[in-house]
Structure 1
Amino acid sequence: MPFGANRPSILTDYKRRWTLEKERIKRMVIDLVAVLSVKYRFVKPRPDLQYFQVTKIAKGLYESMYEQFATGNLDPIRPRLCESIEENLTARIANRPKNTHLQWKLHRYIGRPALMSYRAGMMQLNDDNEKQTGITQAVVRIRSEQSLRRVKRVRAADGKVLEVLEEGSVMGANDGSKGKEVVEYFVIQRMIRNGVWGDWMIWGTTQESTVESVERARRRKLGLGDDE
């Protein structure tokens, strides 16, 4: 669901808002049925889906991912990265200018991280409910104030290595005292393979829904072109 000013007003833009609300309600019902099926029908013994812990888990993974990405060393967080996000971050680190790194600082969270979506489903059904294969996936909205600076290592005349802030590379205040507000939709997922639950993994980030994206999805489902 769009956040803040991106969300159509229910008073002045009722039609567009109702389009989004209908989709939200439909998805909530579908997701709830799927989660309950995994919890009470398909998987035995009944799993702990960690529904009420997932925002805290996501917050920890979010901080770890950006801290390691800033340093240019993904090894400590690599076991918790899904393949696509690992490839993306690795490529971005490789494209950095030589002898540069980032300084990322999370100044504060603006409100608590909010669980926007929690889905579950079976990828392969087995006659033995203790050996199922499936997945749970959560989307957490994280709103924070953070800063980012690109720093280059240079050698001074006396041979000492200095760190110099690159011009135009700052997100937030130049002195790092204040950050910029950032809203991200952080996606984590957890697999069950042959009845064994794995750790929560970082899938990446996603975007808010829009009225246009909802309508396009509806047309595709009906077999219509996007312009019809």
Structure 2
Amino acid sequence: MALLQKKQEREALGAGQLPDDMGLLTGTFIMPYGKNRPSWFTNRKARWKLEKHRWWTRMYEVFALATWRYIYVRPRPRVKPFSTPALAKDLHHKMYTYFAAGNLDAIAPNLCPGLLSSLRARMGRRPPTTYLKWTLHRHLSRPRLVSLRSTFVPGPKEETHYSRNGVIQAIIRIHSLQSLQSVKKVKVVEQGVTVLREVAVDSSGKEIPNAPRPDNEEASLSRAKETVEYIVLQSVLRRSKMAPWMVWGTAEETSLRKLEKEEKKERGEKS
């Protein structure tokens, strides 16, 4: 049965049947940002360790991308990594806007199945007749590409440059000021006319007494929070043809503790 399963997997890869969701690629490194990054003045040793690992990781990523782009795949794929920050910025805004409104149909083709399923499940847990009002007030810095990792997926022995399979993931940092409010529409009578009006509600769907109206920009800005997110874009290579970039999900920064844990694990495996 094991041999049969492996044969079926090789045949599937040979036909380009590679899943859209293969998880975050092993070895992905995201440098801590802002206050999370150790200072050169107060913790030089930790900062140097992270900087050194970032440098080696970037060297590996450049080499892997060059291999992907110029050696092992034909025709040469057009990766265009420097266009990913603008794309991530646009998809980030659309994804949260549609998610807040409770309808992901328009953005579904741009989301990996795992992420789409997760967002729909979260929407399903909302109290009836409620939705979210999400506001992106402004970006506090330009979206930046912080990781670009690629890997090939081994296929059948007869695989050629024209039938490669693989995955490439670009991680973009989005630093913004956002606000979020649960709302629902209620019927009210204004000047003798019944109209629908948005009101702020809590997590259980109950109206919050004396709360400012959700469309009050000043009140919305007062609730705004500074947010740093790492959006993962993914493109799958099937039989040497790159699929469009899709949002895989989000990732977390690589803390010093996590880096040291991974290094200990690697040393243990080697020994």
**2:81 alignment partner, SS class:** coil
Q: 1:26 aligns with which of 22, 41, 56?
A: 56
Residue aligning to 2:240 = 195
Q: 1:105 aligns with which of 122, 125, 135?
A: 135
Q: How far did residue 123 of structure 1 move?
A: 1.3
Tell me the amino acid that sits aligned with residue 78 of structure 2: D
**2:118 alignment partner, SS class:** helix
Q: 1:216 aligns with which of 256, 261, 264?
A: 261
Residue aligning to 1:152 = 184
C-alpha separation in 1, matches of 2:177 and 2:241 = 37
Q: How far did residue 127 of structure 1 move?
A: 3.4
Q: 1:135 aligns with which of 147, 167, 171?
A: 167
C-alpha separation in 1, matches of 2:217 and 2:118 = 27
**2:257 alignment partner, SS class:** helix
| % same residue | 37
Residue aligning to 2:249 = 204
1:175 matched to 2:210:
no
**1:9 alignment partner, SS class:** coil
Q: How far did residue 128 of structure 1 move?
A: 2.2
Residue aligning to 2:93 = 63
Cα contact 1:144–1:181 (8 A) shared by 2: yes
Q: State the TM-score, normalized to the length of structure 2.
A: 0.76
1:79 matched to 2:109:
yes
C-alpha separation in 2, matches of 1:83 and 1:221 = 31
Residue aligning to 1:165 = 200
Q: Which runs of 5+ in 2 are unaligned?
A: 1-30, 202-207
Cα contact 2:75–2:240 (8 A) shared by 1: no
Cα contact 1:111–1:143 (8 A) shared by 2: yes
Q: 2:148 aligns with which of 118, 123, 128?
A: 118
C-alpha separation in 2, matches of 1:196 and 1:39 = 12
Q: State the TM-score, normalized to the length of structure 1.
A: 0.90
Which aligned pairs between 1:38-53 and structure 2 lie closer than 5 A?
38-53=68-83
Q: Which runs of 5+ in 1 are unaligned?
A: none
**1:76 alignment partner, SS class:** coil
Residue aligning to 1:10 = 40
Cα contact 1:147–1:173 (8 A) shared by 2: no
